[in-house]
C-alpha cells in the first residue's frame, strides 16, 4: 500500500507596493477535507477563510495585506483539517519594498584622489569602483538605498558615470547618473540602490580615467524612521532679490543659515529637507556645501562651479535642531545662491521609498516611444508623462527622477512640475495649459549635457510636466530611480 502524502502549505509572497503584499497559499490536505485557514501576518492582524478540498486537489488563492509600517514580518499560515482534526503550518518572512529615511551627517565615503573608500588612483576607462555603503559610517547593514552626492573630476574627455547595485549591472547600464566633458567637475545626487553585498558600483563609461567622489547624507532602510512628504517646488532663497537671505552675493568662505521649518508648509520635527541648490554668477571657481545648522562645516560638497557658471544640484540635507540648514560658499570669491524646497522627511509620514533597483529610462526625446515621435522639446514648451495611467486617484506620493538635458543650442533651464489635468483631458482636447513654473531643476548652456535629480509629485491625474525654459529646442532624458508610497 502506498503511504498517504503529508498535508502541506506552499507560500509565495510578492510585493505590490511600498507596504503591501500578495500572498499565494497553495494548501494540500491529505485527501478530501474541510479546512479552516488562519493567516497571521506578523503585525498583530490575521485573516481567515474556509474551504472544501476534494481528493487530489489543492486550495490555491491570493490574499492581499498592507502593513501599517515598513519592516520585516513573519507570516504564519495555519490550516486545520476539520475532517481529520489535523493542523499543519508553514511560515514565511517578508520585508517590505518600502524603506524610510534616516539622515546621516554629511560624510565622504569615496575619494579616489586620496584613497578614501577605494584605491588611490583614478578609475580607469570603462571600469568600475566598488563602494561599501551598508556598514560604512553609521549606515546599517540592512540599508536598501543610500543618498549619495557623486562627483566626477580630473576629467580629460567626455563620458558618463552610472551607479548600480552590482558590477554586472553597472557595466551594462543603459542609463547614466551624471555626464562630463574634459576639464569639468560635475556633481549629482544619486539615490542609489544598495546591492545584496552592501556595495554600490560606480562605472566610468568614458574612454579616459577620472577621479570619483561620493558623499553620503542619509540612507533608506525597511525600518520605521522618517517618511517623505512632497510640496510644490517653491523658492525660499534668492540672494539676487534678498529673498530668505541678505540682498547681494554671498562673500567667499562665508556661511548663512536658512530657516526651513515654517517655510512652504515644512512642519517642526522634520529630520531632513529635499532642496534644489543653485549657484549663479560666481566670480570664481568653488563649491557650495549644505549641512545642518549648528554643526561643524563638513569636508564634503554639494555643488561645484567655475567662474560665471550657473549650476544646480539636488540635495537631501539633515535639518538642525533649530529648524535651519546652513549654506557655505566654499569659494574664495562671491556668488549668488538660489534655493528651492521640494519636500521633507518626517517621522509623522509613512510615505516610504520604493527604489526600482535598476534605473529605468522612461523618456528619451531622441527616439520615438509610446506614440511620441522623436524630436527635442521645443523652446518655451513642455512635454508630459502620465506615470500612473489614466487615474483619478494616484497612489504615488512622489517620484524620484534623474533628468538630463542634452543637444542644447543655447542657455536655458528645466522645470519639473505636476500637471493639473487628467490624461483623458489631453485625449479629448479639454486639457488646460499648465501654469509655467518659475523654479528650476537644472540649468544649461549651449552644447552642454546636464543631469539633475527631480523629486516631484504627479498631478491629480498622476501626470508630470517637463518644461524647456530656454529659447532653443533641447533633448530630454528621464530615468526613474524610485517612488514614494503610503500604501
Contact 342, 401 (CB under 8 A): no
- Whether 19 shows a pLDDT value over 90: the answer reads yes
DSSP symbol at 119: -
Q: How far apart are CA 16 and CA 234, in angstroms?
A: 32
Who contacts 411 (Cβ-Cβ below 8 Å, separation ≥6)?
443, 444, 445, 446, 470, 471
For the segment 236-246, the average pLDDT, to the nearest whole number, is: 96
Q: How far apart are CA 198 and CA 139, in angstroms?
A: 10
Tell me, what's the pLDDT at 66?
A: 97
Tell me, what's the pLDDT at 428?
A: 93
Contact 155, 233 (CB under 8 A): no
For the segment 221-235, the average pLDDT, to the nearest whole number, is: 94
Q: For strands 442-444 and 450-456, give the pairing.
A: unpaired
For the segment 139-164, the average pLDDT, to the nearest whole number, is: 96
- The fraction of the chain above a pLDDT of 90, given in percent, is 90
Contact 459, 230 (CB under 8 A): no
For the segment 243-271, the average pLDDT, to the nearest whole number, is: 95
To the nearest whole number, what is the mean pLDDT of the chain?
94
Q: How far apart are CA 244 and CA 264, in angstroms?
A: 12
Q: In what order do the strands lie in the sheet with 450-456?
A: 352-364, 475-485, 398-406, 450-456
pLDDT in tens, 430-485: 999 999 998 999 999 999 999 999 999 998 899 999 999 999 999 999 999 999 99
Name the band, by pLDDT with cuts 50, 70 and 90, for residue 3: very low
Tell me, what's the pLDDT at 208?
A: 98
Nearest by Cα to 270 from 329, 349, 210: 349
Q: How far apart are CA 349 and CA 446, in angstroms?
A: 41
Per-residue b/e over 446-468, b at no fewer than 16 CB within 10 Å? eebbbbbbbbbbbbebbbbbbbb
What does the DSSP assignment read for 320-352? PTTSEEEEEE-SSS-BEEEEEEEEEEETT---E
Tell me, what's the pLDDT at 407?
A: 96
- Whether 146 shows a pLDDT value over 70: the answer reads yes
Q: What is the total residue count of the chain?
A: 487
Least confident of 102-116, 309-323, 359-373, 457-471: 359-373
Q: Which bin fits 354, alpha (ψ -120 to 50), beta or left (φ > 0)?
A: beta
425 three-state secondary structure: helix
pLDDT in tens, 83-109: 889 999 999 999 999 999 999 999 999
Tell me, what's the pLDDT at 340?
A: 96
For the segment 17-31, the average pLDDT, to the nearest whole number, is: 96
Tell me, what's the pLDDT at 4?
A: 52
- The fraction of the chain above a pLDDT of 70, given in percent, is 99
- Whether 48 shows a pLDDT value over 90: the answer reads yes
For the segment 189-204, the average pLDDT, to the nearest whole number, is: 96
For the segment 317-323, the average pLDDT, to the nearest whole number, is: 96
Name the band, by pLDDT with cuts 50, 70 and 90, for residue 235: very high
Who contacts 371 (Cβ-Cβ below 8 Å, separation ≥6)?
none
For the segment 282-305, the average pLDDT, to the nearest whole number, is: 95
Count CA atoms closer than 13 A to 146's CA, side-chain side: 35
- What nine digits make up the cell of 453? 535629480
Contact 94, 21 (CB under 8 A): yes
- Whether 222 shows a pLDDT value over 70: the answer reads yes
- What nine digits make up the cell of 59? 486550495
Q: How far apart are CA 403 and CA 330, in angstroms?
A: 26
- What nine digits make up the cell of 94? 517578508
Tell me, what's the pLDDT at 371?
A: 76
Tell me, what's the pLDDT at 388?
A: 86
CB atoms within 10 A of CB 197: 14
- What nine digits make up the cell of 98? 518600502
Tell me, what's the pLDDT at 391?
A: 72
- Whether 156 shows a pLDDT value over 70: the answer reads yes
Contact 461, 391 (CB under 8 A): yes
Q: How far apart are CA 417 and CA 384, in angstroms?
A: 10
Tell me, what's the pLDDT at 1?
A: 33
What does the DSSP assignment read for 186-229? EEEEEEEEPPTTSEEEEEE-SSS-BEEEEEEEEEEESSSSBEEE
Going from the N-terminus, what domains does the chain have, and what CATH number goes with each?
8-95 (2.60.40.10), 100-221 (2.60.120), 227-346 (2.60.120), 352-485 (2.60.120)
- Whether 257 shows a pLDDT value over 50: the answer reads yes
Tell me, what's the pLDDT at 393?
A: 77
Q: How far apart are CA 431 and CA 446, in angstroms?
A: 33
For the segment 360-374, the average pLDDT, to the nearest whole number, is: 90
pLDDT in tens, 59-86: 999 999 999 999 999 999 999 999 889 9
Amino acid at each position: 500500500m502506498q503511504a498517504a502524502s503529508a498535508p502541506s502549505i506552499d507560500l509565495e509572497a510578492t510585493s505590490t507596493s511600498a507596504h503591501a503584499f500578495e500572498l499565494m497559499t497553495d494548501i494540500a490536505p491529505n485527501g478530501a477535507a474541510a479546512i479552516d485557514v488562519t493567516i497571521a501576518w506578523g503585525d498583530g492582524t490575521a485573516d481567515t477563510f474556509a474551504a472544501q478540498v476534494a481528493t487530489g486537489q489543492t486550495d490555491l488563492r491570493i490574499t492581499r495585506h498592507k502593513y501599517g509600517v515598513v519592516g520585516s514580518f513573519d507570516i504564519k499560515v495555519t490550516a486545520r483539517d476539520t475532517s481529520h482534526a489535523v493542523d499543519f503550518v508553514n511560515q514565511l518572512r517578508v520585508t517590505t519594498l518600502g524603506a524610510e529615511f534616516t539622515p546621516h551627517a554629511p560624510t565622504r565615503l569615496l575619494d579616489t584622489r586620496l584613497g578614501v573608500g577605494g584605491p588611490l588612483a583614478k578609475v580607469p576607462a570603462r571600469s568600475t569602483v566598488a563602494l561599501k555603503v551598508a556598514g560604512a559610517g553609521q549606515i546599517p547593514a540592512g540599508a536598501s538605498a543610500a543618498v549619495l552626492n557623486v562627483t566626477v573630476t580630473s576629467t580629460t574627455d567626455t563620458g558618463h558615470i552610472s551607479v548600480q547595485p552590482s558590477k554586472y549591472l553597472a557595466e551594462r547600464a543603459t542609463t547614466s547618473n551624471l555626464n562630463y566633458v574634459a576639464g569639468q567637475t560635475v556633481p549629482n545626487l544619486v539615490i542609489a540602490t544598495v546591492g545584496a553585498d552592501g556595495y554600490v558600483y560606480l562605472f566610468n563609461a568614458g574612454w579616459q580615467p577620472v577621479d570619483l567622489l561620493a558623499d553620503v547624507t542619509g540612507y533608506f532602510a525597511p525600518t520605521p524612521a522618517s517618511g517623505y512628504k512632497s510640496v510644490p517646488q517653491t523658492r525660499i532663497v534668492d540672494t539676487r532679490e534678498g529673498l530668505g537671505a541678505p540682498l547681494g552675493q554671498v562673500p567667499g568662505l562665508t556661511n548663512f543659515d536658512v530657516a526651513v521649518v515654517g517655510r512652504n508648509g515644512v512642519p517642526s520635527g522634520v529630520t531632513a529637507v529635499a532642496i534644489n541648490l543653485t549657484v549663479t554668477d560666481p566670480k570664481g571657481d568653488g563649491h557650495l556645501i549644505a549641512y545642518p545648522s549648528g554643526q561643524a562645516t563638513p569636508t564634503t560638497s554639494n555643488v561645484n562651479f567655475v567662474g560665471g557658471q550657473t549650476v544646480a544640484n539636488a540635495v537631501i540635507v539633515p535639518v538642525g535642531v533649530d529648524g535651519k540648514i546652513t549654506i557655505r560658499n566654499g569659494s574664495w570669491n562671491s556668488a549668488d545662491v538660489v534655493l528651492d524646497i521640494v519636500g521633507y522627511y518626517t517621522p509623522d509620514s509613512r510615505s516610504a521609498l520604493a527604489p526600482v533597483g535598476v534605473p529605468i529610462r522612461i523618456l528619451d526625446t531622441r527616439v520615438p516611444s509610446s506614440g511620441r515621435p522623436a524630436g527635442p522639446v521645443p523652446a518655451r514648451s513642455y512635454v508630459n508623462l502620465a506615470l500612473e495611467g489614466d487615474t483619478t486617484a494616484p497612489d504615488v506620493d512622489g517620484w524620484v527622477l534623474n533628468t538630463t538635458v542634452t543637444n542644447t543650442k543655447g542657455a536655458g533651464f528645466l522645470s519639473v512640475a505636476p500637471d493639473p489635468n487628467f490624461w483623458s483631458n489631453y485625449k479629448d482636447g479639454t486639457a488646460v495649459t499648465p501654469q509655467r513654473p518659475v523654479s528650476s531643476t537644472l540649468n544649461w548652456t549651449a552644447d552642454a549635457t546636464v543631469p539633475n535629480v527631480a523629486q516631484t509629485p504627479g498631478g491629480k491625474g498622476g501626470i508630470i510636466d517637463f518644461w524647456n525654459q530656454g529659447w532653443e529646442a533641447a533633448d530630454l532624458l528621464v530615468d526613474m530611480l524610485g517612488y514614494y508610497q503610503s500604501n
